Amino acid sequence: MARIDQMAQMAQMVQIVSLAALALAVLVPGRAEASRADDEKAVAALDTEYQAAVERNDADTMAKILADDFVLVVGKGTVFTKADLLKSARDKDAIYEKQVEIDDSQKVRVWGDTAVVTAKLWLKGSQKGQAFDRKLWFSDTYVRTPDGWKYVFGQSSIALPNEP
């Protein structure tokens, strides 16, 4: 009789463990999807914060977001480093009226510890006494680090043709 009771208890434990494993299998994909959505929101907010920091020439905020080995390649082929951008902000090489993502164009794609932001940007202001007002597309690449998401690489298009 004791042996039958042990077998019944063992069968019941197998059922409980099986149900727990099934529940975990069902919940894990949902958690991964929630995590991806959270990452997309975090990177979107960080990229928007970065654009606002550039608009204000806020080198301190830019420095926190940019990776130390950051590189930006602009449409005409010029390459800028983190040091270049921070110096430009501190020296106020450009004074911005606008440096904003427009037309609800921002799209964030996340693959594990890498995220790419694509958006249309409106830049308006002056640089060395010359006014500018242009729109362009850009892609910004972020990587998750132990210190959080860092902006590691950016590439922008040439200025888009003026809209009629």
Q: Encode pLDDT of 59-79 as tens digits.
A: 999 999 999 999 999 999 999
Helix or strand (DSSP H, E) at 43: helix 2-56
> What pLDDT, on a 0 to 100 scale, did the predictor assign at position 9?
59
- Give me the number of domains the chain comprises: 1
Task: Take residue 13 and report the two structure tokens written for it.
Answer: 């434990």
Which range, of 43-52, 75-84, 155-164, averages the lowest pLDDT?
Answer: 155-164
Residue 74 domain flag:
yes
Q: Give all strands of the β-sheet with 79-81 in edge-to-edge order.
A: 79-81, 66-73, 148-156, 130-145, 114-127, 94-111
Q: Tens digits of per-residue pLDDT, 41-59?
A: 999 999 999 999 999 999 9
Residue 134 domain flag:
yes
CATH number for position 92: 3.10.450.50
> What pLDDT, on a 0 to 100 scale, did the predictor assign at position 163?
78
Residue 81: which domain range?
A: 2-156
Residue 164 domain flag:
no
Q: What is the pTM of this model?
A: 0.79
Residue 162 domain flag:
no
